[in-house]
Structure 1
């Protein structure tokens, strides 16, 4: 969901744990860089290691824009645009990246199309040129197209029998109905099988533009050096994207869907209405969710379901913010004969949170962890450049990294318990269970 996950292969990521630790009062300096051509990026300089990471997102260019008869288009493009570009076929393009220890990858989510570039400082020119070619001159050769198509179809076949995938598809179809969010990001056998180079080029021409581009950069580069590279990588893009308008989603909750599968375990996911990222009460909800199910072994759900009764290895909850819908979700997987009891315990905790809220001790422990752990997000350049993209998309300001812990610290017991009473809605939760559950299921 969110989406918002990548692997940097072939390169040992740089440790930048010094950021934010030497001077806790000021975590890192975020600079806004504007190139001569008007391309904007946010930058965090760190010259400890000769490494640079660049994350980019084309907002609104995700799978929700796929035409109904071309589902999986954005996803397939994300697997193809680094499979040969310009004069280089797939083998040559990939060989250039491997020989120079450059990682370039792309991903399509429901809302956005994103990319990530990691390169040694000495390979900056080559890395930027490969990125430029991938975005502006992807080849879509038949060999690469059929190979990536085969990989996607193989994934779709695996997903047919994967309880987690089945639960996710069923849940999103149940709550979103005919909204684009209900459609599978990876497409279907029929639609993926019909996609061709004309479709891929059309997507690139519509989706990659300057007006929906967000860039975050971290590492061994200065603002002065970055400006010309932005023009080199992105200056060729058209000024305006040409993407369909996605309507606001109106998810429907309160249903129970059971998908019978002959397997020893049942997989359950559930969800209700969430809270907007810009709502003044967002941080109170964020802390509340940490106490409920977002805090791993320290959460109430884990304590009740795993620690006290050993019913499941893991159980969790989280806030999910899509561009057109806000959700509060959770999940658990356990034996068929234990899923009913597990869900009953989860439902009880959902209700207790609404009716009783949290204690001062729980709040203090949560705030202590959430503020203390935040600097650990600065331990890789990829985390930093990705955070810069998210900060821009959510319009959080260049000083957010300095302000974030104070936002958590400002949450009071009254805030959390008021928000818990308003947000938690155990009577309007949609539940999806996949497996052969025994006994009555409800939330």
Structure 2
């Protein structure tokens, strides 16, 4: 395994592995992650804007999400249909999305359509379809989706957990906003948000495929030079609530939807992430074979599935899990979840559990970086955390060398995951 990761892999004469450099645009050093691959004659460009996702909506919930929707409505002159026809005629895909942290433009194309693709991206950025008709269209779509969520009990329980764990922070709100917040958003708010979001200071570029990277950058530069410089990026981090709470919503349901979570304190991602991955896998992230699944389903038959994983993001670190059970088994299931976590922290894991986790993680992780898009996504995530692009390889080596004593010492030091809160949708 170590030999595999210490060797440069080649396929079709092209090295498999992302690279990094910065490019100067209007005096701003913009990070670029890139990888050339001639396996198929296609290319992909991502413009990723930090400080632009739902965590940065300010007081207007759903603003980043609605902004991404209207950016997908084509240009003011061509409209949604006309712009979509131009893309389709040339087999170009252009999609804008919003997450908690980012606004992202994803452009993919046949190699021969590279210049046309960049021209259409430039056209969209120059004159997005900021019209009242387009705004009402995306509002209707967003509100219809939210109305459907009102009968999605998993969504309601999950949203309730966020409200508990991250009360009084931007993370307590649903990424797509609420019916009232979406209805209240106007064009001026969207334009102001995007003016502050789509800036060079917030930009990361990811390029991959059968492309001459320098030539692609030359084509991109005129488009990027039109972007404002903007204010420097900021880093926001939030702590999950350490006071156990329970939020219950009553609906007409035969099942209880139980979501639970707790804070998780991580001192050093680079030195400890491998321990977190193994800990999370054994406790509840791996499905069958995990402590949570064995106790909840296999031994007690309380639920079809039960999961608990430790989430490590730039915005927050926390543990979260969920299960669905009969209403009559609701209280028993909650008490068993608490007991499983308590026993886990108190006693740690066995050598057999550690060996099984290592076998799976070391065997499956390389498969998650087989494709170009997977490798670039991993490389960007590592870079954004301030790590080397190939940190995941280093992490696997640390997992291979992890001892039972080190893992159990780490597990027993994280008593904060006992401070569990519950969000329940029940009858």
- Of 116, 119, 143, 1:129 maps to 119
Deviation, structure 1 residue 225: 3.0
| Residue 335 of structure 1 pairs with residue 317 of structure 2 | no
- Asked if 2 retains the 8 angstrom alpha-carbon contact of 1:55 and 1:386, the reply is no
More helix as a share of residues: 2
- Provide the C-alpha distance between the structure 1 equivalents of 2:66 and 2:405, rounded to a whole number of angstroms: 48
Q: What is the DSSP-based 3-state SS (H/G/I as helix, E as strand, rest coil) of the residue aligned with 2:109?
A: strand
Corresponding residue number in structure 2 for 1:344: 335
Contact 1:52 1:118 in 2 (8 A): yes
Residue 25 of structure 1 pairs with residue 25 of structure 2:
no
Greater displacement, 272-281 / 78-87: 272-281
Runs (4+) of structure 1 exceeding 4 A deviation are 20-24, 242-250
Show the counterpart of 1:388: 379
CA contact (8 A) 1:271 1:431 kept: yes
2:259 partner SS: strand
Whether 2:200 is the aligned partner of 1:210: answer yes
CA contact (8 A) 1:214 1:393 kept: no
1:357 to 332, 339, 348: 348
Contact conserved, 2:237 with 2:314, CA < 8 A, in 1? no
TM-score scaled by length of structure 2? 0.89
Per the normalisation by structure 1, the TM-score is: 0.86
| Aligned residue-pair number | 416
Is 1:423 equivalent to 2:411 in the alignment? no
Change (3 A) 1:417 1:160: same
Shift of 1:430: 0.8
Matched-pair contact (CA < 8 Å) for 2:264–2:417:
no
Name the CA shift for 1:399/1:22 in 2 (closer, same or farther; >3 Å): closer
Cα deviation 1:112-138 (Å, max 9, x = unaligned): 222322222222222222333334431
Which stretch of the first structure deviates more once superposed, 70-79 or 313-322?
Answer: 313-322
Give the superposition deviation at 1:48: 0.6
| Compared CA separation, residues 241 and 139, structure 1 to 2 (3 A) | farther
- Structure 1 residues 290 and 381: CA distance shift in structure 2, 3 A: same
Partner residue of 2:166 out of 169, 176, 182: 176
- Residues 384 and 54 of structure 1: is their aligned pair in 2 closer, same or farther, counting only changes over 3 Å? farther
Give, in whole Å, the separation in 2 of the partners of 1:65 and 1:293.
31
2:292 aligned residue: 301
Gaps of 5+ in 2: 10-15
Q: How many Å apart are 1:354 and its aligned residue?
A: 0.4
Higher relative contact order by CA 8 Å / sep ≥ 6: 1 or 2? Answer: 1
SS at match of 2:292: helix
CA distance in 1 between partners of 2:235 and 2:361 (Å): 36
CA deviation map 1:115-164 (0-9, x unaligned): 32222222222222233333443122233211111011111111222212
Of 207, 211, 214, which residue of structure 2 is paired with 1:221?
A: 211
CA distance in 1, matches of 2:105, 2:93: 10
* Residues 36-435 of structure 1 mapped to structure 2, 5 A cutoff: 37=25, 38-68=29-59, 70-85=60-75, 87-241=77-231, 248-249=238-239, 251-276=241-266, 278=269, 280-425=271-416, 427-435=418-426
- Counterpart of 1:353 in 2: which secondary structure? helix
RMSD across aligned C-alpha pairs, in angstroms? 2.5
CA-CA distance at 1:222 after TM superposition: 3.4
Whole-angstrom CA distance in 2 between matches of 1:371 and 1:135: 43
Query: Does the Cα contact within 8 Å between 2:282 and 2:291 map onto a contact in 1?
Result: yes
User: Structure 1: which 5+ residue stretches go unaligned?
Assistant: 1-19, 437-443
CA distance in 2, matches of 1:318, 1:75: 26
